[in-house]
Amino acid sequence: MPESRAQIMQRLQAEGLVVRNPAASWDVTNLGAILFAKRLDDFPHLRRKAVRVIAYTDNSRINTLREQVGNKGYASGFEGLIGFVNNLVPSNEVIGKALRRTVPMYPELAVRELVANALIHQDFTVGGAGPMIEIFADRMEISNPGVPLVDVDRFLDTPPRSRNEALASLMRRFGICEERGSGVDKVVHETEFYQLPAPEFAIAIDSTRASLFAHRSLSQMDKRDRIRACYLHACLRYVSRDYMSNTSLRERFGIAPQNSAMASRYIKEAVEQGVIRPYDELAGRKYMKYVPHWA
């Protein structure tokens, strides 16, 4: 930690957070403001980049339950933002071997990673729009301005390319986001661990949207849900230098061993859709392994 005020200001200048002005004083840069502002409203050109959190009463946007616009910088307000979101998310009661405990509907680690990604990878040149977190009865949607620089189907395995490298670097150093990678592997792992529907990544008009879904039984998932889950499961296994198999997919969906035919049917759906392929087409059915279509 620098000892004097002058040394502190020099360090902040080196990080691009402040600059000298003609009056020999200091001005806060856009980077310093978006990270550490107490009130983003004090910076008119950054006001629309504040995070909006909207909770709805049901699965549509018709009836708003609560709406809040975060006014702090991304770094100084991140923990408060995550806490606020988690307080709005419904909880599930889980009964363990001895204790009954309440857990959020969505894994906190998954929420943290997706919110951090939305802040870091947004396109600041898109006017009149900022990061937004929408909470519905059955899902959470996290969106940011700008289309991604990599294909949404390759979020899990492709190193991220950020438009805002200085912002990303500082937020990584603050421990807010992943040092390497996009954190999407953690998101997929968390949804698999809690046997939630697979997350969905999509491009809308000038924006990117990531969706987390509330728990649904396997019988409640439609074909699209199952294919997406198979694909992301194969991706997660592949980046771990492993392969998807009937056994691994049964574990992902919580299918009993005697119902292996059900897992085989879901794998067939994904193969026919072209999102996964056999690793070795000559392998016996019992030993068949699968990889993403791009592997």
pLDDT tens sequence across 6-45 = 888 888 888 899 998 888 788 999 999 999 999 999 999 9
Report d(CA 90, CA 29) in Å as an integer.
38
Is beta strand 132-135 parallel, antiparallel or unpaired with respect to 100-104?
unpaired
pLDDT digits (tens, 9 = 90+) for 131-182: 999 999 999 999 999 999 999 999 999 877 778 999 999 999 888 876 565 6
pLDDT greater than 60 at residue 184: yes
Report yes or no: 201 and 185 within 8 Å, Cβ to Cβ.
Answer: no
pTM above 0.95, yes or no: no
Q: For residue 33, which amino acid is it? A: A
Contact 50, 70 (CB under 8 A): yes
3-class DSSP state of 141: strand
- Predicted confidence at residue 99, as pLDDT, reads 58
Euclidean distance between CA atoms 65 and 169, whole angstroms:
35
